[in-house]
Amino acid sequence: MAIQEINVGGVANDGTGDDLREAMIKVNENFNELDLRQTVTVVGSNLGAQGVSVYKEVENGNLKFRRLVEGDNITLVENTNNITISAPDVVHNFDVTGDTGTAITITDTGTISVTGGRGIQTSSDGTALEISSTALLQVADDPSPSLSGDLSANGNNILNIGYAQGTFRGPLDGLVYGYDMRNVGPYFDDFDFGDYSDAIDTYFKWFISSSDVDLGTFAAPETRPLNFGTF
């Protein structure tokens, strides 16, 4: 039942209000209504097991809540039913690209590490990243250079050579002590003196008999004396 209102009239004793008996009946019924009503205690609560609490306490029926305050790069916008929290200036993720395209994707909780390759060292003092190189910029900087593969001169010359040591494999193009071996070499090919049937009893006979000398072919042969000496 709703609480009844006692009509007191316009002015005192104007006869328009409730009489004394009717007024006291309303008073009794109102007390009975209030007595039958159950006492309701109002209290707030925070739902969930994580995060900070918005509700603080209740004091004399007054519910108290904590305020939401904007932090760095945070914006709060309120309307009739909602409070919108946005972070427009916060970088959520970004890509680190290299010469071949996207190399690393960094998310909110990701970490990027900068490491050096061969001859490269990296260090950081907390505010600056330093990349240094210990690689040799020129062959002349290496006191003991060596090759791990074939060296191509790409059609260019190698100048100012002091001494070339080792065994040459394949044709050698150039002068040896001022002589072009391409012109000298053919005179040492196919030089054959034939076979000797004489008994070998001296070193010189053995030397001559063990040498294969060929005078070659003459286009216009003619008789010439040939003297091998006396054996």
Q: What is the pLDDT of residues 89-134, one digit of tens each?
A: 776 777 777 777 767 777 777 777 778 887 888 888 878 888 888 7
Residues 73 and 32 placed together within one structural domain of the fold: no
Same domain, 77 and 22: no
Check residue 73 and give its pLDDT: 82
pLDDT tens for the chain, 231 residues long, are 788 888 888 888 788 888 889 989 989 998 988 888 777 677 888 888 888 889 899 888 788 999 999 888 888 999 988 999 888 777 677 777 777 776 777 777 777 777 888 788 888 887 888 888 877 677 777 788 888 888 888 988 888 888 777 777 777 777 777 888 777 777 666 656 566 566 777 777 777 777 766 666 666 666 667 777 776
Q: What is the pLDDT of residue 33?
A: 85
**pLDDT confidence of residue 35:** 82
Q: Is residue 143 part of a domain?
A: no
Domain-embedded: residue 154: no
Q: Is residue 146 part of a domain?
A: no
Q: Does residue 33 lie within any of the structural domains?
A: yes
Q: Count structural domains, the chain.
A: 3
pTM of this prediction exceeds 0.75: no
* DSSP codes joined into one string, 18-54: --HHHHHHHHHHHHHHHHHSPP--------SSSS--S
Quote the Cα angle for 55-83-110, to 5°. 95
Q: Return the pLDDT at 104.
A: 75
> How many CB atoms neighbour CB 110 within 10 A?
10
pLDDT at residue 188, as a whole number = 66
Query: In terms of residue numbers, what domain contains 109?
Result: 67-134
